[in-house]
Structure 1
Amino acid sequence: MRPGRLHADEPDTGTALVRRLVAARFPAWADLPVEPVATAGTSNAVYRLGTGMSVRLPRTAGAALDVDKEHTWLPRLAPLLPAAVPLPLGRGEAAEGYPWPWSVHSWLEGERPAVGHLARPELLAADLAAFTAALHRVGIAGGPPAYRSEPLASRDARTRAALAHLADAIDTRAATAAWEAALRAPDHRGPAVWIHADLQPGNLLVTGDRLAGVIDFGCLGLGDPAVDLIAAWYVLPAAARSVFRAGLDADDAAWARGRGWALSVALLELEYYRETHPVMAAAARRVIGEVLADDAGGCAAAR
């Protein structure tokens, strides 16, 4: 792994490259300023273009596959959702030594939520529930499978491998017990619905404690609605989770699967990024701690 890279196959990027790409593909924007955006994201290098646009350069070949999906589906979904989402404004091709498609999106104003320091987290919980419920209700047919569309049980081997690799970092006995409890939850029996599948703090924008926008739809697609419940542990404190749960009318089985999804995703993130991405690793540790501290019975009673 080269220094400063998150992935083994990640190409070099930078403002000079972005200027060359934009000038060649979108000459009308060639004179706009370009600034790197500090982000905890791991799929795209993001640069602000002028004041109203962002340039997204996929960091991996897999992330590059999401460019077409976002250009196809975000314009159709955006009018149906109660919070702003970025709209694709242009698509670039491999050029200037950069190997994959890339895109220009509209810029959304807002700040990342200060997890653990929200003055009124119940407001964000209610807004998140409204956004997520609206997305789950979308009736547009023909969508692709979400990045996390598999049944929770199919992640068992990968999750246990991560647990084995993290024996020196977390309470793996407690984490294993929590994971096995989630696996006992019944599977989703309804139709797959539209899910964001990555409702983490880095993909949310807030104004104060209210949801202003949702970004980074690379995981978007059809799947189990319980996947989007990861926001309960990734974003919200324990006291606000009942508001989020009530807004989505999540039953005990869905809540248990959501808790399992949050744990599995965080374990795999901590295993992968513990040496290369301190911000992501710290967030994953916090989520694991939130899941293990969560009293599942108490949450069910508070529903």
Structure 2
Amino acid sequence: MMHDDQVHMNANTVRGMIIDQFPEYRHERIKQLNTIGTVNAIFRIGSSVAARFPLRAMNPVECAEMLRKEAAAMTEFAKHSPVATPQPLGLGQPSTFYPMPWAVQSWIEGEIATPNGLATSTAFALDIADLIATLRAADTHGRRFAGQGRGGNLPNHDAWMEVCFRNSDGLLDVARLRRMWARLRELPPSGPAVMSHRDLIPANLLVHDGRLVGVLDAGGFGPADPALDLVAAWHLLDRDRREIVRRHLGSDEVEWKRGAAWAFQQAMGLVWYYERTNPRMSALGRNTLARLLDDLEA
């Protein structure tokens, strides 16, 4: 169990719910996937569909509203993404065995990216840069950052970072990392909000033959700090390939460092929170922090 409020889920029961509510899939093979995801349990349905069951308990009405908003964001994202991305297909209802709504969406083929698998690939770095540039060019339609999560004011995350520093004692060089955050949190805004995926971690990117072929979890697509999607550079690329991304996007010093700040904020939470329950996600945090410290020393 990764979360204190995680919902217990029986795979056989879930298969029954899928067949009962979406009988068109009754002859398809339904298999739970072993992913590093931390938000949803994923069940693959046949070769072209997936069902996503939220892992953390929440009010069913609020969950349904969240899933509807995510579906709208996914649909908007697909209009702009230069690569394939899942599309919403339906909304499942709670049952006696699972207390919240859940989502059905299309399946995208590809291999999940890893922190180091394509870290030295110039072609992949350019794919990442093209993705970010294309999303930034999308119209915000006058929307602004909603004020929740990453993508707004860096000092708003001080309390969470303090939790991370306290829980990372004995795992990381906390004194050094505190000094790093003290500098990063003071960075000024780098420009007006642009459209952003808002979670470009390896687990949300699909690759094939060394190229980016798909983007997952686009339900958070919306306006945010222009630097936010730059987290992908530290999660996925070595220093030389990061520089390629920076040059391609024309990021100035402030924007680039704010990208580092958001990657730092995310990575600090991954190491300690998932140390025992999701080692691959914890390792991603360590890997990203190592790259950030390498940049700092450079």
TM (norm. structure 1) is 0.89
Paired residues of 1:194 and 1:223 also in contact (CA < 8 A): yes
Question: Could you tell me which residue of structure 2 aligns to residue 58 of structure 1?
Answer: 54
Aligned counterparts of 2:76 and 2:156: Cα–Cα separation in 1: 31
Aligned counterparts of 2:180 and 2:269: Cα–Cα separation in 1: 15
CA deviation profile, 1:152-193 (whole Å, cap 9, x unmatched) = 111122213311221211111221222122123212332x22
Paired residues of 1:120 and 1:209 also in contact (CA < 8 A): no
Aligned counterparts of 2:177 and 2:119: Cα–Cα separation in 1: 30
Aligned counterparts of 1:264 and 1:149: Cα–Cα separation in 2: 11
Q: CA deviation at 1:48?
A: 0.6
AA of the residue aligned to 2:23: P
CA shift in 2, pair 1:293/1:120, >3 Å: closer
Question: Could you tell me which residue of structure 2 aligns to residue 301 of structure 1?
Answer: none
Question: Could you tell me which residue of structure 2 aligns to residue 193 of structure 1?
Answer: 194
Question: Could you tell me which residue of structure 2 aligns to residue 139 of structure 1?
Answer: 139
Q: CA deviation at 1:99?
A: 1.3
Q: Which runs of 5+ in 1 are unaligned?
A: 299-303
Aligned counterparts of 1:147 and 1:88: Cα–Cα separation in 2: 23
Q: SS of 2:35's equivalent?
A: coil
Q: CA deviation at 1:84?
A: 0.9
Question: Could you tell me which residue of structure 2 aligns to residue 177 of structure 1?
Answer: 179
Question: Could you tell me which residue of structure 1 aligns to residue 30 of structure 2?
Answer: 34
AA of the residue aligned to 1:55: A
Question: Could you tell me which residue of structure 2 aligns to residue 156 of structure 1?
Answer: 158
Question: Could you tell me which residue of structure 1 aligns to residue 209 of structure 2?
Answer: 208
Aligned counterparts of 1:13 and 1:248: Cα–Cα separation in 2: 43
Alignment of 1:2-151 (within 5 A): 5-61=1-57, 64=63, 66-118=66-118, 120-141=120-141, 145=146, 147-151=149-153
CA shift in 2, pair 1:203/1:138, >3 Å: same
The answer to which of 243-252 and 223-232 deviates more is 243-252
Aligned counterparts of 2:176 and 2:119: Cα–Cα separation in 1: 31
Q: How many residues align?
A: 292
AA of the residue aligned to 2:19: A
Between the aligned residues of both structures, percent identity stands at 33
Q: Does 1:226 align with 2:227?
A: yes
Q: SS of 2:112's equivalent?
A: coil
Paired residues of 2:140 and 2:223 also in contact (CA < 8 A): no
Paired residues of 1:18 and 1:34 also in contact (CA < 8 A): no
The answer to which of 284-293 and 212-221 deviates more is 212-221
Q: CA deviation at 1:203?
A: 0.5
Aligned counterparts of 2:150 and 2:296: Cα–Cα separation in 1: 25
Aligned counterparts of 2:224 and 2:149: Cα–Cα separation in 1: 9
Paired residues of 2:114 and 2:203 also in contact (CA < 8 A): no
The answer to which of 26-35 and 132-141 deviates more is 132-141
TM (norm. structure 2) is 0.91
CA shift in 2, pair 1:31/1:96, >3 Å: farther
Paired residues of 2:206 and 2:212 also in contact (CA < 8 A): yes
CA shift in 2, pair 1:18/1:213, >3 Å: same
Q: SS of 1:184's equivalent?
A: coil
AA of the residue aligned to 1:72: A
Q: Which runs of 5+ in 2 are unaligned?
A: none
Q: CA deviation at 1:119?
A: 7.6
Q: CA deviation at 1:269?
A: 1.8
AA of the residue aligned to 1:232: A
Aligned counterparts of 2:196 and 2:19: Cα–Cα separation in 1: 35
Q: CA deviation at 1:292?
A: 0.9
Q: CA deviation at 1:120?
A: 4.9
Paired residues of 2:119 and 2:236 also in contact (CA < 8 A): no
CA shift in 2, pair 1:52/1:193, >3 Å: same
Q: SS of 2:227's equivalent?
A: helix
AA of the residue aligned to 2:25: W
Q: CA deviation at 1:140?
A: 4.7
Aligned counterparts of 2:295 and 2:155: Cα–Cα separation in 1: 21
Aligned counterparts of 2:286 and 2:114: Cα–Cα separation in 1: 16
Aligned counterparts of 2:137 and 2:119: Cα–Cα separation in 1: 30
Paired residues of 1:19 and 1:30 also in contact (CA < 8 A): no
